[in-house]
Chains A and B, each alone.
Chain A
Amino acid sequence: MKKSVILGAMTFAGLAAGAASAGTLDDVKARGKLNCGVTTGLVGFAAPNANGEWEGFDVAVCRAVAAAVLGDSNAVEFVPTTGKTRFTALASGEIDMLARNTTWTFSRDVDLKFEFVGVNYYDGQGFMVPKELGVSSAKELDGATVCIQTGTTTELNLADFFRSNNISYEPVPIETNAEAQQQYLAGACDVYTTDASGLAATRATFDDPAGHVILPEIISKEPLGPLVRHGDHEWGDVVRWSLMALIAAEELGITSANLGEMAAGTENPEINRLLGSEGTLGEMLGLSADWAKNAIASQGNYGEIFAKNIGEDTPVGLARGLNAQWTEGGLLYAPPFR
């Protein structure tokens, strides 16, 4: 009855009832569904496919958490949010977690009262130029016209970068990524700057992607990660360690192919603890013993998710770079499971 439009007004009556909620974890379990906030659409990170199923790099985090908590990676209600509605949706309790390529910053963490549980993608602002310009470093861009989205941190980063390198530039302000793409291709600017992952995704859609290069300089830090509300630490732990389980799985060599074999028990005690054949990690989180196994089974380990959605074999074509394991020169470093 709650869904009926006309009688919807009557649910006013139920206002007082739902006010006092238990922990988010209990709510999710009781509901049987995870409400996960995602973007309304970003290539490779989150978008519904032709059949209406959400897929992408951020979506995989939602699915992994749902699998860990509920044992079913499809028990997710994806709530699309825009840049403007994402934080209110989370703060008001409409969604349980937000996995929407959101940069972890001080004020979002502290002032907006959210808790970033980790980083699933280390991004940074980069530059793209046409190959025929013959530029190999951003420091050679003296006097260039730069397409830049207004009102973003990228605008401020750009000004800082050019001033500190003592070179000049001419900004061409634009509103959206789509507009930027058109302007850049039409030659209205020499350089387009935004997050490196965005540049790669944009370049992938060009008629002639090989005619454009992304310069090696990354001029800002944009750690993107899932976040939850302040104050509910049990739920924060669940989301954090679901993400860490994906990262640790890659480090420990657990893939969706050998998961069943590994879960039966191995020589490596950490794998055993992670997959639940030893120890009581799941119980500590308030989940079943095979929580991490379910999370990994949903989409594979971090590396598999990366390769499938935004890796080098996809149209987005991102290299691992900073997002490689710490053992391979990247920044991914899951704390030990013990």
Chain B
Amino acid sequence: MSDTHAHSIAFVRDTEIPPSPPPAGETGAVKWLRENLFSNAVNSALTIASLLVIYILLSKTLPWLLNGVWTTNSLAECREVLQGKTGACFSVLTERWNQLLYGFKYPSDQYWRPNLALVLLLFAIAPVLFFDLPRKLLAFTAIYPFLAFWLIWGGTILAPIVALVGFAAGAFVFQTYGKSSFAVGFFGAIAAAFAVWIIGGMLIPDGASDNAMLQAVPSRDLGGFMLNLMLGVTCVSLSLPLGIALALGRQSDMPLIKWMCVVFIEFVRGVPLITLLFVASVMLAYFFPPESTVDLFLRVVIMITMFSAAYIAEVIRGGLAALPKGQYEAADSLGLDYPQAMRLIILPQALKISIPGIVNVAVGLFKDTTLVSVISMFDLVGMIRGPILASTEWNGVYWELLGFAALLFFVVCYGISQYSQWLERRLATDHR
């Protein structure tokens, strides 16, 4: 039988045919181009138009960028080197580099202090941003504000220590008495903190800052991108807790608290930031006699914080409103009291919903710090518009300076945005 079988089948293939390559139009770059860029007439036309635009842009900017001059000492020298050719005068960035970053009055032999503060900031902020890191690192985060204050402003180390001890005393009082009665703990903590500050302030000798380990730098001498970063970081980190408190206060059943929060939020949101800054810099000076005003930096921080806290409060209120009522009732049915319910059930969900909005406010706030240039503080933009463009060497250089400022701000804002997207992915618990 086997014979018949062998004869009935003329050929049996016992190895696979080697695969032939796909048609040229269906593979690699060509396929991608055809599918994505030239799939139909309109698409092709748009592609060609876009390429044209990109070409025009690059043909104008690339010579300007690549032909840039980095080593001259003034715009006139720059033009001499370029001999009429297109080219950027990046020398202004190299010559005024320190002024752009630190302002023009920060003592130049002390630049390591803000630099160190920035590096430490990364360590301090890491456990807050990435909560997979060990919780013990938060201890450093708690110390960091006082450390950074001492590094940047210098002067006697006693001042930040007294401030830290005051906060610690407040926290201790709250821990001890807050369990039995929230109000006693809360107001007791405030009283304890102020008691420590006032007594500590008296104990610090008058000339303590004169021969301190770190030379004291007054707030007026801060400037450049350092000032933007300091304002941005301080105000974002202060306005977030304040915003949460305001949002919760607005939802409160207690009429006094509710209306105080409503009035605060609506008033501050209804006023332009620049007005608040003018009040901080100009009007307050009328209320205090000379020599006894509150530090200008502190005034600005308070105003920007108030402003962004009002916005963040409204963003979080949106998050709270998005939670179904069942969540609140579930918390109640478990027997949780108000702080527990908020901390364990409501806020984690509401804040997660609010992340994009909060980040939006944070990015906006960071860019708004450039508004302080209007009240004659020399932040990055203030440095550019004031001292640098008004110097006889560099008057007339616009693109290079403002482009550099834009680049710095873009890097930071893009970083914030990327972090928020990571955070959203990390916190995603739904199944989409």
Binding site for B on A (CB under 8 A): 1-12, 14-15, 17-19, 21, 27, 39-44, 46-50, 52, 79-82, 84-85, 88-89, 91-94, 178, 181-182, 201, 204-207, 314-316
Contact = CB atoms under 8 A, between A and B. Distances in A.
Given A11-B294, A18-B289, A80-B378, A41 B398 contact: no
B376 A1 contact: no
Contact of B197 (A10, A49, A178): A10
A3 B75 CA distance: 39
A88 B284 CA distance: 10
A116 B283 CA distance: 23
19 contacts: A1-B204, A1-B209, A3-B219, A5-B295, A5-B297, A10-B198, A10-B201, A11-B294, A40-B386, A40-B390, A47-B386, A52-B99, A80-B376, A85-B282, A88-B282, A91-B286, A94-B285, A178-B389, A205-B396
Contacts of B387: 40-41, 47-48
Contact of B155 (A4, A79, A182, A314): A4
Interface string B138-173: 000000000001000101000110110000000000
B290 A3 contact: no
B253 interface: no
Contacts of B376: 40, 79-82, 85
Interface in B86-110: 95-96, 99, 104-105, 108
A8 B298 contact: yes
Given A1-B206, A80-B378, A84-B374, A204 B291 contact: no
Contacts of A178: 385, 389, 398
Interface in B187-244: 197-198, 201, 204, 206, 208-209, 216, 218-220
B193 to A, nearest CB: 10
Given A41-B390, A80-B376, A6 B285 contact: no
Contacts of A10: 197-198, 201
A248 to B, nearest CB: 28
Contacts, number: 155
Chief secondary structure at chain B's binding surface: helix
A39 B283 CA distance: 19
Contacts of B298: 5, 8-9
A205 B208 CA distance: 48
A16 B173 CA distance: 32
Contacts of B185: none
Contacts of B391: 41, 43, 47-50
Contacts of B11: none
Nearest to A80: B376
A8 B206 CA distance: 14
A245 B219 CA distance: 35
Contacts of B375: 82, 85
A41 B282 contact: no
B392 interface: yes
Contact of A3 (B197, B206, B209, B286): B209
B313 to A, nearest CB: 24
A204 B159 contact: no
Given A8-B294, A84-B374, A85-B376, A3 B155 contact: yes
B386 A1 contact: no
Nearest to B388: A41
Contact of A19 (B79, B159, B281, B289): B289
Contacts of B395: 43, 201, 204-205, 315
A44 B278 contact: no
Contacts of A48: 104-105, 387, 391
A-B complex: 6 closest residue pairs judged by Cβ atoms: A41-B390, A205-B396, A41-B386, A40-B386, A52-B104, A47-B390
A290 B67 CA distance: 55
A21 B378 CA distance: 30
B153 A3 contact: yes
Contacts of B153: 3-5
Given A7-B197, A80-B386, A18 B295 contact: no
A19 B293 CA distance: 12
B287 to A, nearest CB: 9
A5 B219 contact: yes
B159 A1 contact: yes
Contacts of B198: 10
B376 to A, nearest CB: 4
